[in-house]
């Protein structure tokens, strides 16, 4: 009985303490507390309502004296209470604050201002938005807590007293971390390039450091620094990813498929580097939302998450000049304009001359100049431009509208003349497109995106020959129209489900016409495709395990069949420094490029787009799997990828044969087994890296005489090295590239016949060119002129040692002496370039 009474008494004691603690925690308006003290101690307090209204504190203990209560209030509020007379006291703020509640909202990670956040006084109808500087104001009307919310940041609750201080305090909000934003390393090759958990590379041009030979963050030049990505002929219109052809890569600009990727017929990127915000590159394991490519995917986005303040820039180099401006047309809208144009038709710089010598080798343009029988004269005029317009509108807190338009063009005029004749040839290549996107964030866990787009590619040439008065007109037209819906749901902290539908219509037209002898051919094909996409993302809260699995179901209307493509990306942290990565995908492609004749389109742009017909031109299909490891510790980064890749449905016309198979029409496949290795070390401002890739790439054409032989793009061994120094605004980069030679087919003999002289070849790709070696250098410097003004200068030298590398070799009949002669295409000579950019 005694024990029960003791326990009961103890329980009552704890309940009393708990009730007392709860009472002490309850907060009351300071004005209420002052009124109670006034009544009990028979005094009066004088004060200004606005100086007290923000304060809410717990009651002072009842047994305290008046002076003790005053000390308590001062300690809790920071206010001062001064005795005026025996019965009168003055309450005031010693900081002399005569302002509303105000503050600045900043991103806790980037330090950037946060616009369009909602700042709301709880249990009240008062709410305001932060402006482009993150600034906001609230009236002094309540002591209620203040809630700050934004779709991209974690919600935060503050008290009014946190704002009721001298100046306007800076309040930092923590970004809502998206699962796919997790990265393995923040610096890969250079500042601004990172490896993400899903195996993709992400480039942020605004944070871009420097790479050897580059004067700006050109995406198509940058990606060639990545192990496994190379261009066998130095152009960005022939980028080979793990042994694939250029047309097997998918290039997107704000969701628009781009069919033309280069200016100057492949030596300069067609994508303005001043525009890009985020560039994603996937060699394998791309999301199920991306199709129409059996090799890599390059997704270029120039959109921003926030409405930015007005800014502009002007830049020029020895090839082109560019104007860029982003206008803040309203509180919730941006309009962005950019124009870039070559200056080559106004003056010829040494850079332009070297580019011309490189790109016009072994074409109709240079063949005329070397003719020894007739004294030809020729004049070449060339220019290019690209124009973009973008409109971004935030509608309320949940909706966003984007409208993007792009136009790209290359124009070549070629005049040929003798003393008696004058003929003109032209080549025009253009790609223009547009997209409209509406995105709704229903809440922080659910979003839906609608997108419609079109892309139009047009390649035209007219070739007038002096010898025969023959005129050859050629056209290649592509029209791509599509509509997409994408839905994303965050089911839990670990699981996200994505789903969508895509409709696509592609039409391709090829046209050829000759006047002597009269011949005309026009082929047009159209294909409609319906696609359903389902994708799930799983990631543990510790970020140690990441798994994304997806299915892409394609229905080809013309062929009446389904093709289902699974995708997988898996990343597991084995230790804090070591990650295991497994990527796999099946993909398909209905659109590809073929070469009818090597001298088509003046021999400058030989490839033309064509659609699969599911017979002579099959749908290309790929299967790829890779196993890799990433190690990062003590400023060391080591990556290793081993992969197997097989592409079926390729045609001999798409591979650029210049041997016994040049005119053959056959379907086949190729398979690649390879490894890619990178080791990188940082030493404060200096870092260096060395990469190596190995490919064993072989064709298999059952319809040809030699069924299995090396791929035309088989670069067995490739090394790349760079040393980079970054100190404040100065950046220096020196690098070198070496790779084994490209496969070629050598002749064995030559049969002389008046009707048809013929070269007899060895087995296909029986030999190789000499090894390729090149050294490149870059330097850049930025000067801050005023608060919002800066000057950037950059200089680069390509092929610093002026090495003469043979990029390609084929053989032809010399009818003058009835012999076989070899024709080599050589690399770019030592070529300097200089860029000046003024931003304001």
- The whole-number pLDDT of residue 534 equals 97
- b or e along 720-754 (b: 16 or more beta carbons within 10 Å of the residue's beta carbon)? bbbebbbeeeebbbbbbbebbbbbbbeeeeeeeee
Summarised one tens digit per residue, pLDDT across range 532-577 is: 999 999 999 888 999 999 999 999 999 999 999 999 999 999 998 9
- The whole-number pLDDT of residue 374 equals 43
- The whole-number pLDDT of residue 155 equals 87
**SS3 (DSSP) at 600:** helix
Report whether pLDDT(12) > 70.
Answer: no
Residue matched to tokens 């790109």: 359
Is position 541 within any domain?
yes
Total structural domains in the chain?
4
Share of the chain above pLDDT 70, in %: 91
Is position 4 within any domain?
no
CA distances from 743 to 155, 179, 693, 717, 805 (A): 60, 43, 17, 12, 14
Q: Choose the weakest-confidence range: 31-40, 447-456, 563-572, 799-808.
A: 31-40
Let me know: does 811 contact 789? Beta carbons within 8 Å. Answer: no
Q: Do residue 188 and residue 165 come from a single domain?
A: no
CA–CA gap between residue 257 and residue 503 (Å, rounded): 14
Determine how β-strand 80-83 pairs with β-strand 101-107: unpaired
Report whether pLDDT(685) > 70.
Answer: yes
Last residue of a domain, one of 146, 173, 200: 173
Report whether pLDDT(578) > 60.
Answer: yes
Q: What is the DSSP string of 391-406?
A: EEEEETTTEEEEEEEE
More confidently predicted of 21 and 271 = 271
CA–CA gap between residue 97 and residue 167 (Å, rounded): 9
Report whether pLDDT(19) > 60.
Answer: no
CA–CA gap between residue 146 and residue 164 (Å, rounded): 12
Summarised one tens digit per residue, pLDDT across range 468-512 is: 788 999 999 999 999 999 999 999 989 999 999 999 999 999 999
168: domain CATH number? 2.60.40.1120
Let me know: does 807 contact 232? Beta carbons within 8 Å. Answer: yes
- The whole-number pLDDT of residue 607 equals 92
Beta bridge partners, 81, equal: 91
Is position 535 within any domain?
yes
Crossing angle of helices 66-77 and 30-41, in 10° steps, is 170
Report whether pLDDT(4) > 60.
Answer: no
CA–CA gap between residue 122 and residue 103 (Å, rounded): 17
Q: Which domain holds residue 224?
A: 181-282
Rg (CA), the chain: 34
Supply the DSSP symbol for 631: E
Report whether pLDDT(590) > 90.
Answer: yes
Q: Closest by alpha carbon to 833, among 281, 112, 31, 221?
A: 221
More confidently predicted of 367 and 778 = 778
Where are the extended beta strands (E) located within 122-277? 127-129, 135-138, 146-150, 153-158, 170-173, 183-188, 190-196, 201-203, 229-230, 240-241, 250-253, 256-257, 262-263, 268-269
- The whole-number pLDDT of residue 208 equals 84
Q: What is the DSSP string of 710-728?
A: E-TT---EEEEEEEEEEET
Let me know: does 608 contact 594? Beta carbons within 8 Å. Answer: yes
Residues 161, 166, 171: CA angle, nearest 5 degrees: 60
Q: Give 671's contacts (C-beta < 8 A, 6+ positions apart).
A: 644, 645, 646, 647, 697, 698, 700
Is position 587 within any domain?
yes
Q: Do residue 453 and residue 309 come from a single domain?
A: yes
CA–CA gap between residue 526 and residue 508 (Å, rounded): 6
Is position 821 within any domain?
yes
Average pLDDT over residues 788-794: 90
Q: Closest by alpha carbon to 629, among 567, 596, 676, 589?
A: 676
Q: Give 464's contacts (C-beta < 8 A, 6+ positions apart).
A: 416, 423, 424, 425, 470, 471
CA–CA gap between residue 389 and residue 582 (Å, rounded): 39
Helices first, then strands: H and E counts in the chain: 7, 54
Determine how β-strand 80-83 pairs with β-strand 789-798: unpaired
Report whether pLDDT(10) > 70.
Answer: no
Q: Choose the weakest-confidence range: 255-259, 304-308, 399-403, 774-778.
A: 304-308
Phi, psi of 830 (to 5 degrees): -55, 120
Structure tokens at 119: 């700042």
Q: Do residue 813 and residue 709 come from a single domain?
A: yes
Let me know: does 319 contact 268? Beta carbons within 8 Å. Answer: yes
Report the run of H or E that residue 607 belongs to, with start and end.
Answer: none
End-to-end CA, the chain: 86
Average pLDDT over residues 422-429: 88
Is position 2 within any domain?
no
- Distance of alpha carbon 205 from its chain centroid, rounded? 8
pLDDT band, very low/low/confident/very high, at 97 (cuts 50, 70, 90): low
Report whether pLDDT(180) > 50.
Answer: no
- The whole-number pLDDT of residue 773 equals 97
Q: Give 251's contacts (C-beta < 8 A, 6+ positions apart).
A: 257, 258, 261, 298, 300
Q: Do residue 214 and residue 332 come from a single domain?
A: no
Is position 13 within any domain?
no
Where are the extended beta strands (E) located within 233-332? 240-241, 250-253, 256-257, 262-263, 268-269, 278-282, 297-301, 311-316, 320-330
- The whole-number pLDDT of residue 612 equals 95
Residue matched to tokens 């005569």: 98
Report the run of H or E that residue 4 belongs to, with start and end.
Answer: helix 2-25
Q: Do residue 731 and residue 787 come from a single domain?
A: yes
Report whether pLDDT(447) > 60.
Answer: yes
Q: Do residue 626 and residue 541 come from a single domain?
A: yes
More confidently predicted of 353 and 728 = 353
Phi, psi of 574 (to 5 degrees): -80, -40
Summarised one tens digit per residue, pLDDT across range 606-630 is: 899 999 998 899 999 999 999 999 9
Give the count of alpha carbons within 13 A of 603, CB side only.
Answer: 14
- The whole-number pLDDT of residue 728 equals 78
CA–CA gap between residue 477 and residue 259 (Å, rounded): 10
35: domain CATH number? 3.55.50.30
Q: Closest by alpha carbon to 430, among 387, 393, 392, 391?
A: 387
Report whether pLDDT(17) > 50.
Answer: no
Q: Do residue 301 and residue 376 come from a single domain?
A: yes
- The whole-number pLDDT of residue 735 equals 96
Q: Do residue 429 and residue 355 come from a single domain?
A: yes
Q: Do residue 270 and residue 343 come from a single domain?
A: no
Q: Do residue 82 and residue 106 come from a single domain?
A: no
pLDDT band, very low/low/confident/very high, at 176 (cuts 50, 70, 90): confident
Report whether pLDDT(837) > 70.
Answer: yes
Q: Closest by alpha carbon to 665, among 654, 680, 676?
A: 654
Task: Tell me how long the chain is.
Answer: 840
Average pLDDT over residues 292-305: 92
Q: Choose the weakest-confidence range: 213-217, 370-374, 641-645.
A: 370-374
Supply the DSSP symbol for 106: E
Last residue of a domain, one of 135, 156, 173: 173
Is position 288 within any domain?
no
pLDDT band, very low/low/confident/very high, at 21 (cuts 50, 70, 90): very low
Q: Do residue 318 and residue 395 come from a single domain?
A: yes
Q: Do residue 186 and residue 163 come from a single domain?
A: no
Let me know: does 584 contact 648? Beta carbons within 8 Å. Answer: no
- b or e along 228-242 (b: 16 or more beta carbons within 10 Å of the residue's beta carbon)? bbbbbbbbbbbbbbb
pLDDT band, very low/low/confident/very high, at 371 (cuts 50, 70, 90): very low
Last residue of a domain, one of 92, 115, 145: 92
């Amino acid at each position: 009985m005694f024990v029960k009474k003791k326990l009961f008494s103890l329980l009552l004691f704890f309940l009393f303490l708990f009730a007392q603690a709860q009472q002490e925690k309850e907060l009351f308006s300071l004005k209420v507390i002052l009124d109670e003290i006034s009544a009990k101690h028979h005094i009066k307090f004088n004060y200004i309502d606005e100086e007290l209204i923000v304060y809410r504190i717990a009651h002072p203990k009842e047994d305290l004296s008046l002076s003790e209560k005053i000390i308590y209030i001062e300690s809790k509020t920071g206010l001062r209470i001064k005795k005026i007379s025996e019965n009168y006291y003055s309450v005031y703020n010693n900081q002399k604050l005569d302002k509303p509640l105000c503050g600045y909202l900043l991103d806790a990670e980037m330090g950037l201002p946060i616009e369009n956040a909602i700042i709301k006084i709880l249990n009240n109808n008062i709410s305001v938005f932060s402006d482009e500087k993150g600034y906001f104001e609230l009236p002094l009307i309540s002591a209620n807590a203040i809630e700050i919310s934004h779709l991209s940041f974690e919600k935060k609750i503050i008290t009014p007293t946190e704002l009721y201080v001298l100046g306007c305090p800076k309040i930092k909000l923590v970004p809502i971390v998206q699962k796919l934003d997790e990265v393995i390393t923040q610096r890969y090759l250079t500042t601004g390039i990172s490896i993400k958990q899903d195996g993709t590379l992400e480039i942020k041009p605004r944070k871009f450091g420097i790479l050897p030979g580059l004067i700006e963050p050109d995406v198509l030049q940058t990606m060639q620094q990545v192990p496994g990505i190379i261009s066998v002929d130095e152009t960005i219109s022939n980028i080979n990813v793990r042994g694939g052809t250029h047309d097997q890569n998918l290039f997107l600009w704000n969701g628009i498929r781009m069919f033309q990727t280069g200016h100057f017929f492949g030596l300069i990127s067609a994508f303005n580097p001043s525009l890009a915000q985020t560039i994603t590159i996937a060699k394998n394991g791309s999301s199920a939302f991306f199709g129409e490519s059996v090799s890599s995917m390059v997704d270029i986005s120039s959109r921003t998450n926030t409405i930015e303040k007005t800014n502009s820039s002007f830049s020029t180099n020895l090839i082109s000049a560019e104007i860029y401006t982003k206008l803040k047309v309203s509180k919730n809208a941006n309009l962005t304009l950019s124009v870039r144009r070559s200056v080559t038709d106004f003056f010829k710089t040494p850079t332009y001359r070297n580019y011309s010598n490189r790109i016009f080798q072994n074409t109709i343009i240079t063949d005329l100049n070397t003719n020894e029988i007739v004294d030809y004269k020729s004049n070449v005029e060339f220019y290019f431009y690209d124009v973009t317009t973008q409109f971004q509108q935030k509608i309320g807190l949940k909706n966003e509208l984007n409208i993007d338009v792009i136009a790209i063009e290359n124009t070549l005029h070629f005049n040929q003349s003798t003393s008696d004749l004058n003929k003109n040839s032209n080549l025009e290549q253009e790609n223009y497109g547009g997209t409209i996107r509406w995105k709704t964030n229903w809440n922080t866990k659910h979003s839906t995106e609608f997108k419609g787009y079109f892309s139009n590619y047009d390649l035209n040439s007219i070739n007038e020959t002096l010898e025969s008065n023959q005129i050859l007109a050629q056209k290649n037209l592509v029209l791509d129209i599509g509509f997409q819906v994408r839905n994303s749901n965050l089911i839990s902290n670990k699981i996200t489900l994505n789903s969508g539908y895509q409709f696509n219509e592609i039409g391709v037209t090829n046209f050829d016409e000759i006047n002597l002898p009269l011949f005309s051919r026009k082929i047009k094909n159209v294909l409609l495709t319906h696609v359903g996409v389902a994708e799930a993302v799983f990631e543990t809260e510790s970020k140690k395990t990441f798994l994304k699995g997806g299915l892409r179901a394609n229905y080809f209307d013309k062929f009446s069949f389904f093709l289902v493509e699974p995708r997988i990306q898996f990343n597991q942290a084995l230790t804090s420094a070591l990650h295991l990565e497994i990527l796999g995908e099946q993909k398909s492609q209905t659109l590809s490029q073929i070469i009818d004749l090597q001298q088509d389109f003046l021999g400058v742009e030989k490839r033309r787009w064509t659609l699969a017909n599911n017979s002579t031109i099959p749908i290309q299909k790929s299967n790829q799997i890779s196993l890799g490891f990433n190690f990062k510790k003590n400023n060391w980064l080591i990556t290793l990828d081993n992969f197997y890749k097989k592409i079926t449905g390729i045609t001999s016309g798409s591979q650029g044969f210049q041997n016994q198979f040049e005119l053959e029409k056959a379907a086949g496949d190729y398979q690649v087994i390879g490894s890619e290795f990178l080791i990188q070390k940082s030493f404060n401002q200096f870092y260096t890296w060395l990469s190596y890739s190995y490919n064993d790439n072989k064709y298999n054409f059952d319809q040809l005489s030699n069924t299995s032989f090396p791929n035309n793009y088989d670069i067995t061994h490739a090394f790349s090295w760079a040393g980079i120094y970054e100190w404040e605004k100065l950046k220096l980069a020196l690098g070198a590239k070496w790779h084994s030679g490209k496969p070629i087919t050598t002749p064995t003999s030559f049969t002389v016949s008046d009707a048809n002289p013929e070269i007899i070849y060895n087995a296909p790709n029986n030999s190789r060119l000499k090894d390729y070696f090149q050294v490149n250098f870059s330097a850049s410097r930025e000067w801050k002129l005023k608060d919002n003004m800066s000057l950037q200068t950059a200089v680069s030298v390509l092929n610093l040692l002026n090495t003469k590398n043979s990029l390609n070799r084929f053989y032809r009949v010399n009818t003058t002496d009835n012999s076989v002669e070899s024709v080599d295409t050589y690399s770019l000579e030592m070529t300097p370039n200089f860029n000046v950019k003024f931003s304001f």
